[in-house]
Amino acid sequence: MTEQYDDHGTQSTVRVPILAVVGRPNVGKSTLVNRIIGRREAVVEDVPGVTRDRVSYDATWNGRAFTVVDTGGWDPDAQGMAERIRAQAEVAVTLADAVLFVVDATVGITDADEAVVKVLRKSGRPVVLAANKVDDQRAEAEAFGLWNLGLGEPYPVSALHGRGSGDLLDAVLAALPETPEESFEEIGGPRRVAIIGRPNVGKSSLLNKLAGEERAVVDDASGTTVDPVDELVELGGRTWRFIDTAGIRKRVKTASGHEYYASLRTTTAIERAEVALLVIDGSQSISEQDLRIIQTVRDSGRALVIAFNKWDLVDEERRYYLEREYERELVQVQWAPRINFTARTGWHIDRIVPALDAALAGWETRVSTGTLNAFLGRLVAEHPHPVRGGKQPRILFGTQAQSAPPTFILFTSGKLDAGYERYIERRLREEFGFVGTPIVLQVRPRE
């Protein structure tokens, strides 16, 4: 199994839009960022490297939250001034939903500004043009010259005194996309669980125990198909939706293609679920098939709980071997809550709901951009990336683009070692928990 994760089209959740601030040095980007966030952000910690690399801030205007990224703090290794700010602009457009392009109105348009405009145009990102250092009425005329950039209306502003900043921020909000506020939770409705596992591990027995007398079969396919059939079950005072229980209850055992359909069914159930409850027969060895199912859960980015059934058959010796097997085979999913239970008697059945809750909470965890970057600064200070080919890749900026599953985008000055990516994931888990959920790391080296 590999530690690399790919992009995948999991449902987006609440995401705060990102505004990148670009422009030549000394045009007033930092001053403007401070104006936008409405205060001087306290320096997070006195760790060398943290302050300098701190480039992103959480901001709100008119009740809308967004993240501001000050590209001025970056030091791309590109040659020459024009090349440098062009490179910054390129990074900005990859990560941001909108760009705030700052020009010094008292200086007018320079070649470097023209180079930035080219990058911005090509990206198709919405751009707001700030004509800075317009400290008074008289200076306003200087802003008009900036129409020549072809980016539309220049907003005259004085980052230093605050003049015009309200209008500028209104324009920024208009340029930022409305955030798609759809998380599973907000869509509402019962949590969706897929009970999965090999045949005969006890899925059906578990479902029977969980559902007890409360069972309600829901055929929600608007009459067109019989399958899939979900069941709504009351557990811990809440309603849960168990996905495709027909596949569990009906012993579909046609000779040909049985395996294929079973795995297709498992995959579909996982896709429809938020959390997978993987049942493993504790009295048997962990099999290839178990590992394949685990891989499917990881690939589809769902939360995972691993439940070892038939604990009544597990003696001292078997327990010893199971522990070894677990460490050997399931290292990739050590983050998954683990329960031992006996479906036959109902022993430890009550531990399933808390485990599902923990996994769902980890799956939906959100880390703010500010907190994440402060953490990344500490992480790098403690353990910098090894030098490779005379260069040391640096993490420039990170953001959690999505939750469910937590998906992080790291902008770096070079490719990271696989081992270093694993280190980042491990430290993310130590710091923020992420129990029961895969973590997706997308590294975007700027080369």
* Residues annotated within a binding site for GTP: 23-30, 70-74, 132-135, 197-204, 244-248, 309-312
Q: Are strands 98-104 and 18-22 parallel, antiparallel or unpaired?
A: parallel
Q: Around Cβ 131, how many Cβ atoms within 10 Å?
A: 30
Question: Contact between 231 and ligand GDP (CB under 6 A)?
Answer: no
Closer to ligand GDP by Cβ: residue 104 or 364 = 104
Closer to ligand GDP by Cβ: residue 201 or 358 = 201
Question: Contact between 158 and ligand GDP (CB under 6 A)?
Answer: yes
Closer to ligand GDP by Cβ: residue 56 or 309 = 309
CB of 132 to ligand GDP, least distance (A): 5
**Contacts (Cβ under 8 Å, ≥6 apart) of 124:** none
CB of 210 to ligand GDP, least distance (A): 12
Among 16, 194, 314, 343, which residue interacts with ligand GDP (rule: CB under 6 A)?
343
Question: Contact between 113 and ligand GDP (CB under 6 A)?
Answer: no
Binding residues: 23-30, 70-74, 132-135, 197-204, 244-248, 309-312
Among 108, 190, 199, 433, which residue interacts with ligand GDP (rule: CB under 6 A)?
199
Question: Contact between 162 and ligand GDP (CB under 6 A)?
Answer: no
Question: Contact between 132 and ligand GDP (CB under 6 A)?
Answer: yes
Among 131, 151, 159, 439, which residue interacts with ligand GDP (rule: CB under 6 A)?
159
Helix axes 165-175, 29-37, angle to 10 degrees: 80
Q: Kindly write down the DSSP assignment for every residue of 16-72, as one continuous string.
A: --EEEEE--TTSSHHHHHHHHHTS-PPP----TTHHHH--EEEEEETTEEEEEEEGG
Q: Which two tokens stand for residue 173?
A: 């909000």
Cis peptide before 405 (omega within 30 of 0): yes
Closer to ligand GDP by Cβ: residue 148 or 200 = 200
CA nearest to 168, candidates 128, 202, 138, 200: 128
CB of 163 to ligand GDP, least distance (A): 8
CA nearest to 362, candidates 338, 339, 337, 340: 337
Say how many residues make up the chain.
Answer: 447
Question: Contact between 202 and ligand GDP (CB under 6 A)?
Answer: yes
91-129 burial code (b ≥16 CB/10 A, e <16): bbbebbbbbbbbbbbeeeebebbebbbebbeebebbbbb
Closer to ligand GDP by Cβ: residue 161 or 444 = 161
* Contact mark string toward ligand GDP, 54..93, x via CB under 6 A: ------------------x---------------------
Question: Contact between 404 and ligand GDP (CB under 6 A)?
Answer: no
Question: Contact between 330 and ligand GDP (CB under 6 A)?
Answer: no
- Collapsing DSSP to helix, strand or coil, 446 comes out as coil
CB-neighbour burial class of residue 66 (10 A; exposed 0-12, middle 13-18, buried 19+): buried
Closer to ligand GDP by Cβ: residue 343 or 410 = 343
Across the chain, which distance is largest between two alpha carbons, in Å? Answer: 87
Residue type, 425: E
**Kind plus residue range of the DSSP H or E element containing 172:** helix 165-175
**Contacts (Cβ under 8 Å, ≥6 apart) of 342:** 309, 310, 311, 312, 348
23, 11 in Cβ contact below 8 A? no
Q: Which two tokens stand for residue 347?
A: 């022993």
Closer to ligand GDP by Cβ: residue 247 or 406 = 247
Question: Contact between 342 and ligand GDP (CB under 6 A)?
Answer: yes
Among 81, 160, 232, 262, which residue interacts with ligand GDP (rule: CB under 6 A)?
160
Question: Contact between 30 and ligand GDP (CB under 6 A)?
Answer: yes
For ligand GDP, the binding residues in 245-264 under the rule CB under 6 A are 248
Stretch that binds ligand GDP, among 51-59, 203-211, 381-389, 435-443 (CB under 6 A): 203-211
Q: Which residues bind ligand GDP (CB under 6 A)?
A: 23, 25-31, 72, 132-133, 135, 158-160, 197, 199-205, 248, 309-310, 312-313, 342-344
